[in-house]
A and B are shown apart, each in its own frame.
Chain A
Amino acid sequence: MFFPISHAYVNPIYLIVVGFVIGVLGGFFGVGGSFIAGPALRLAGIDWNFAVGTDLAHIVGKSVVAAKRHRALGNVDLRLGFIMALGTIGGAEVGAQLIQMLKRAGNVNLVVSVVSIVIYLGISGFMMWESWKTLALSKRQNSQRKSITRGGKSDESAFQHVTKAIQRWRIPPMISLPQSGITISLWVILLVAFVGGLCSGFLGGGAGYIRMPSMVYILGIPTHLAVGTDLFEIVISASYGTFSHAIKGNVDILIALVMHTGAAIGAQLGAISTQYFAGPKIRLAFVPLPLIGAAIVIYTMFTGHKL
C-alpha cells in the first residue's frame, strides 16, 4: 500500500501487527514502545524523521485507549498526571535543544547511541535486581506471615527505604496525592517528569521506560497506578510532540492510523492482563524491553546498518 505523505510503500498487515505488539506492551507496562516501533517503521523503509514523528502520533492514539481502560480500572491518578505532563513537556524541549547542539557539533549519532545503551542497560539491570529481591523477600515473608495486599495485588519493593527517604523531603509546596496514597514535594514530581521528558526529547518516543520505574521507585506510586498514570501523562506529552513534529513535516498520519488499529486491540489485552499479575512480576517482565532497545542500538553502532 502506498502512503503518499511519507512516499513509502508499506504492507498494512505489517503495520497492524507491529501496532498490536506495541499495544500489548503499552497496555501491560505503561510504556509507549518507541524503542520497538521506531526501528520497526525503519525496517519497513520509512525515513527516520517520519518513523519518530509517526510513532509519536501512534503513541497518542494507543495511550488514549490504554489510559481510558486503566482509568476504568482505577489505575490513573489524574492530579499526578497533569503535574507530570508539565515537567515532561519542559524536559522534552531541553532534550530537543541538546540534540540540535549535538547536530551542530557533528557527533549526535555517537553520543545518543552511547547514552541510550547506558540508560537501557541501567534500567534493565536495576529493575531485574529489584524485582528478584522483592519477590525473594515476599516469599520469605509469606512463609512467616500473610503479606499485606492491596486489592489482591501485592506491591512491595526492596527499594522502599530509599522511596520513604525521598518522600520525607519537605521542600514546599508539598502535594497530597490521596489516590496514590502519598504526600510529596512538587519539585520531586517535576524533577522525575523533567528527566523523563529529557529522555523523550533526547532519545525519542514517550520515554515510559524511565518514567514508569521512576514513579514506582522514586515517587513511591503503586505499580498499577504508575502504569495507568504514565499512560495518561503520555497522551498529553505525546500530543505536544506530535504537533511539534507534524509542523516540521515528520508525521504520516495515515501510517499512524493503520498502526493504531492493531494497537487498539492489543492495548485492551495488555491492560486486562495487569489484573492477573502482582507489581513485582510486572516489573520483572519489563526487564527484557530496554534490553531489546539496547541490542538494536548496539547492532546499528557496530554494523553501521540501519534496521
Chain B
Amino acid sequence: MGPRSKTAVRRTLRAFALELVIYAALVTGYFFAVLHLLGGWLVQLETQHIRVYAVVAILLIIGQAVVLEWVTTGLLRLLRGGRSE
C-alpha cells in the first residue's frame, strides 16, 4: 500500500470514527421517536393483516436503508469537506 493509499485509509477511518459518534446520537433519537410510534401499529398489522404486514415490512426496511445511506453519505461528505469518497 503506497503513502497516498495510507493517507486515504487514515482519512476514511478518522471520518468513520466521527461518523460513529454522530450516528450513535441519531440512532438513540430514532429508537425513541420511530420505533415507539410504529411499534403498536406494526403489531396490530401483523396480527390482523399479515400480507399487508409482509409488504410493509419490506418497504420499511428498504426505506430505512435508503434514508440511512443518504444520512451516512451526507455525514461522510460533511466530515471530509465536500468529498463523499
Contacts and interface: CB of A to CB of B under 8 A. Distances in A.
Interface of A: 1, 4-5, 12, 16, 57-58, 60-62, 64-65, 68-69, 239, 242-243, 246-247, 249, 251, 253-254, 256-258, 260-261, 264-265, 268-269, 272, 276
Nearest to B76: A268
Contacts of A60: 58, 61-62, 65
Interface in B47-82: 50-51, 53-58, 60-62, 64-66, 68-69, 72-73, 76
Nearest to A246: B54
Contacts of A4: 39, 43
A5 B65 contact: no
A239 B66 CA distance: 15
Nearest to A53: B57
A257 B64 contact: yes
A60 B1 CA distance: 34
Given A260-B61, A264-B72, A249 B46 contact: yes
Dominant secondary structure at the A interface: helix
A57 B64 CA distance: 12
Interface size class of B (residues with CB under 8 A): 35 or more
25 contacts: A1-B31, A4-B43, A5-B42, A61-B61, A61-B62, A65-B68, A65-B69, A242-B58, A243-B55, A246-B50, A246-B58, A247-B51, A249-B46, A251-B54, A254-B35, A254-B38, A256-B61, A261-B27, A261-B68, A265-B19, A268-B69, A268-B72, A269-B16, A272-B85, A276-B5
Given A249-B46, A276-B1, A260 B64 contact: yes
Contacts of B55: 243
Contacts of A12: 31
B44 to A, nearest CB: 10
B57 A242 contact: yes
A106 B49 CA distance: 32
Contact of B72 (A246, A253, A257, A265): A265
Interface in B1-45: 1, 5, 9, 12, 16, 19-20, 23, 27, 30-31, 34-35, 38-39, 42-43
Nearest to B35: A254
Contacts of A64: 61-62, 65-66, 69
Contacts of A68: 66, 69
A179 to B, nearest CB: 20
Contacts of A265: 19-20, 23, 68, 72
A264 B43 contact: no
Contacts of B35: 254, 257-258
Contact of B57 (A62, A65, A253, A268): A253
Contacts of B57: 57, 242, 246, 251, 253, 256
A69 B70 CA distance: 11
Nearest to B9: A276
A253 B46 CA distance: 10
Which 5 pairs across A and B sit closest by C-beta, in order of nearness?
A246-B54, A61-B61, A264-B68, A64-B65, A253-B57
A269 B43 CA distance: 33
Nearest to A58: B61
Contacts of B12: 272
Contacts of B60: 253, 257
Given A64-B65, A249-B46, A276-B5, 15 more contacts: A16-B27, A57-B58, A60-B62, A61-B64, A242-B61, A249-B50, A253-B57, A254-B42, A257-B34, A258-B31, A260-B64, A260-B65, A260-B68, A261-B30, A268-B72
